[in-house]
Structure 1
């Protein structure tokens, strides 16, 4: 099937009126202005709101934003903070992303595990704001999305919809958050403060495992003429943004450590399933350093591992489907982590008794204790997955694993209180801390882990058919296009075109870069 160059126009009935609506085929990525009238309105809208869009290249190699600009404000200048170098660290004299290196005293393995911190991204304190910007910028700059007249719909299991609402607020357009009702109370409190209208928060049934219910809600919204769905699970710019921005940030972090020790090897990149956007950084690291790519998922809902289903509490990871943008046939390892572990370790890392145990009994340094206290649930899950990978591959002190903590612990305080009450009777002491550490870190082996061969990759890839072809209407031909690596290499060639479109719209607004 030959790829189309332009977005597809279809006609739908809205009420008693016929409305022509631009519906996006996710495979049709813009390389030019697709609607001149919409483009002109977007230019006027951005000019009115003082918005200059950063190019993807400017998020890879960022420049400083005026420090007086509040990073949590709906200020257009904060778009230039959508990168990994806010509050950077220094290694071997190089500026690198903020991160925590996990010592053997904590992990029990020799491999060096580096956890990049998403909490320093602006406004939402999670790196999903990068995915939201990456999905919106090409459509906005190509005249496919009209910020003056359309509502942006952000389907999510928690952080992506917050990022989308934040970007929408900056642009002066309405953003609609679609997320499961079972997500943490902190997410909903944030959304209530940021949406234009309380009705713009749509709570769907269930938890992060109930992704189909999110899709069903979006299908209803898509029938309305003034909405556009930015589905992170099928938006290839989500993949491209992480491939380019997160991948190069992780590579720069490894290079700095290798500057201090030339024998270091980047053994693996670990990321949770989620929308599979972050996993794209692994594709970059595999190309540049021959690193293995490991995908983490909850064993309570082991979709990739066992074609399984279920419910879990590692929030922010959508399950029971395989994202369209997951380059499954390039993935090397699938590893399961229990939410029993992430919940218990969240308490361990964020309680007085837990921190005392780590310091006194495990001899973990205070800087590490402070760093891991900031991990959200999926970050702890990625840490546990990295430890499992290190054990299975028998990695040594010259092997490096890079992973991410998507968001901060502040999003889960209500979950911590609930876990403390239901699991530990309201009290978490040194004995509980020792049991949690022993069970989930020292006692955790490399079970529920598959080193993927061709048959495993094909099985996991094929599982996506039921979501994308049978439920979401993707053609079999388009679905199959994603199987060979030539498709993904061709996809990456779109990035310079995206930056060219962004340059053009910035030029036409006549505004200078926000600084």
Structure 2
């Protein structure tokens, strides 16, 4: 058992679990990284810590500056959590239609909240609003753009990808993950393909909002992915992606419920999307071992269709 001397020591090092029940009857295996076990409850703890430390090293955060975070939820919670520990004032810019659990968690962590119109597909409005606030108040805020920040990629290249290799080796056929910022998919892809170029990488988008793969926009209910525009991270690293898998909101919700009822893991809707994609790869492409991510826990979704 590891000993943690601070919140920061709790970030990363998450278990990976074989989802044997939901994949029962298939010839291959689906393995899932339990990112909901990070201290703020999601995979985003990794990138928040890396992005803050990178900005500190480069002298971008001046004394007294507030951290301004455009987000659809989990990244904001991660920044609020780590910011509270490090002594930063955190201001969150978030679409007004995100789940109430996210908003209440942000408030509990002491974050100030600014709202923008829309839901998950409208993340660009939050980013643009944050940039405008920063420009209108020079020196008061530092804006963290998670959709372009290379530290986002580095977090998963240096930690998540390495952990997967250490835990289950290189005998992996494919890795798949939903794309919000693209950081998880690309960071892990860089590491996996570096050590085994034969591993295939598949991004996951909501079928209602396949902006990256098909250039189409629409509303959906898979909080955490499908932000409604193509992130700069994806533009920079699209050569690492072997294909795209589209999952509907209803399929993601159904699969998340199956994971809860069959595996005993109450995970969020984006976890359902990821596992849906992984199961499809095993079933349709006869792959032997597919790895994916369980980004967050289901307790952030009590007000959504996941439990209604």
Common topology (TM > 0.5): yes
Q: Which has the larger radius of gyration?
A: 1
* Correspondence 1:382 to 2:289: no
Q: What's the secondary structure of 2:157's corresponding residue?
A: helix
What TM-score comes out, normalization by structure 2 length?
Answer: 0.92
Q: Name which of 61, 64, 70 aligns with 1:145.
A: 61
2:239 maps to: 329
* Correspondence 1:126 to 2:18: no
Q: Name which of 239, 250, 265 aligns with 2:164.
A: 250
In structure 1, distance between residues paired with 2:160 and 2:280: 23
What TM-score comes out, normalization by structure 1 length?
Answer: 0.56
Q: Give, in angstroms, the shift of residue 154 of structure 1.
A: 1.1
Q: Give, in angstroms, the shift of residue 104 of structure 1.
A: 6.2
2:132 maps to: 220
In structure 1, distance between residues paired with 2:92 and 2:22: 41
In structure 2, distance between residues paired with 1:337 and 1:172: 39
1:289 maps to: 196
2:115 maps to: 203
Query: Do the aligned partners of 2:267 and 2:294 also contact (CA within 8 Å) in 1?
Result: yes
* Correspondence 1:109 to 2:21: no
Q: Which runs of 5+ in 1 are unaligned?
A: 1-61, 67-76, 85-96, 259-264, 359-368, 421-515
1:415 maps to: 304
Deviations 1:27-69 (A, max 9, x none): xxxxxxxxxxxxxxxxxxxxxxxxxxxxxxxxxxx96315xxx
* Correspondence 1:278 to 2:184: yes
In structure 2, distance between residues paired with 1:407 and 1:346: 11
In structure 2, distance between residues paired with 1:282 and 1:300: 25
Query: Do the aligned partners of 2:94 and 2:114 also contact (CA within 8 Å) in 1?
Result: yes
Query: Do the aligned partners of 1:154 and 1:165 also contact (CA within 8 Å) in 2?
Result: no
1:344 maps to: 254
Q: Give, in angstroms, the shift of residue 294 of structure 1.
A: 0.7
In structure 1, distance between residues paired with 2:156 and 2:227: 20
Q: Structure 1 residues 302, 237: CA separation in 2 closer, same or farther (over 3 Å shift)?
A: same
In structure 1, distance between residues paired with 2:217 and 2:109: 33
In structure 2, distance between residues paired with 1:104 and 1:374: 14
Q: Name which of 220, 225, 230 aligns with 1:312.
A: 220
In structure 2, distance between residues paired with 1:79 and 1:168: 11
* Correspondence 1:406 to 2:295: yes
In structure 2, distance between residues paired with 1:266 and 1:305: 24
In structure 2, distance between residues paired with 1:346 and 1:401: 17
In structure 1, distance between residues paired with 2:22 and 2:48: 37
Q: Name which of 170, 173, 181 aligns with 2:88.
A: 173
Q: What's the secondary structure of 1:270's corresponding residue?
A: strand
2:4 maps to: 65
Q: Which runs of 5+ in 2 are unaligned?
A: none
Query: Do the aligned partners of 1:346 and 1:416 also contact (CA within 8 Å) in 2?
Result: no
2:11 maps to: 82
1:498 maps to: none
